[in-house]
Amino acid sequence: MALLSGSHSGQASRTGTTCVKVCGIVEPGELDALAAHRVDLVGLWLAIPGGPHDLPLERWRALAERATEIEGGPAPVLVTFTKDADVLRSALESAPVRWVQLHGYPTPGFVRKVKAIDVGGDRVKVIKVLHVKGGECVEAPLIGSYEKAGVDVFLFDVVSDDGRVGSTGQALDAAVVAPLLEKLTRPFLLAGGISADNRGEYESLAAHPLFMGVDVDTNARGTDGRISADNVAAITRVWKERSDA
């Protein structure tokens, strides 16, 4: 499933292979590492209070601009917990970003407000996270409503036992996700412990016609907590080359 044909056109996979998104970038050098290893989307955190990779607006904007300047670089995604559409509108109007990833539990009505944001005539693309906790998807009853509100892509991710949302590093249970796919008419991404070593655990999901790709944070990092070029290379090699086969 290739939603995109070019990294900065609002699309997601340059080659028609699996889209790889790496989240929580905070340094320009990390963007260079992602571009070198064919990463398609980069998540830049904004308005995530207390988040380890949350960025002040000016720094967020600078990294977004840097991402679009790198030849073959990943398209920037505004990753946020905010439920204030004006915050998103202000950020999007001042940066070359057309993707918004909504974490937490915003309503379909809020998704509709985000889709209504006009950024120079371009259509904002919305990734809505679907949270898996305790063996079930919290938003499962709302999937149809989210689609009607304009969600472009869904992202399955894990809520930790203590309620933490996003970048938990906990593994996503493929058996929980599988029965939900019949509810979808939009592409989906997988997150939650995705690595270069566990592609086989998600093979049935990756074979689905709406499968778009994976979103990685924890396993893209080295022991120092920074993005590891080696880890990113291994992840893209396994996930992209398998889809080319």
Per-residue pLDDT tens digits for 82-111: 999 999 999 999 999 999 999 989 999 999
The neighbouring-strand residues paired with 91 are none
For 76-143, the DSSP string reads EEEEE----HHHHHHHHHTSS--EEEE-S---HHHHHHHHT-EETTEEPEEEEEEEEETTEETTGGGH
What three-state secondary structure class fits 184? coil
**For position 8, what pLDDT does the model report?**
42
Give the pLDDT confidence of 2-52 residue by residue, as tens digits.
Answer: 455 444 434 444 445 899 999 999 999 999 999 999 999 999 999 999 899
Tokens of 178: 């599988």
**Inter-helix orientation angle 108-115/85-93, to 10°:** 30
Sign of the dihedral defined by the CA atoms of residues 203, 77, 219, 158, in that order: negative
Separation between Cα atoms, residue 76 and residue 66, nearest integer Å: 9
Q: Residue 172: is its pLDDT beyond 80?
A: yes
3-class secondary structure, 194: coil
Which pTM does this prediction carry? 0.92
Please tell us whether the domain made up of 19-244 is placed in CATH 3.20.20.70: yes
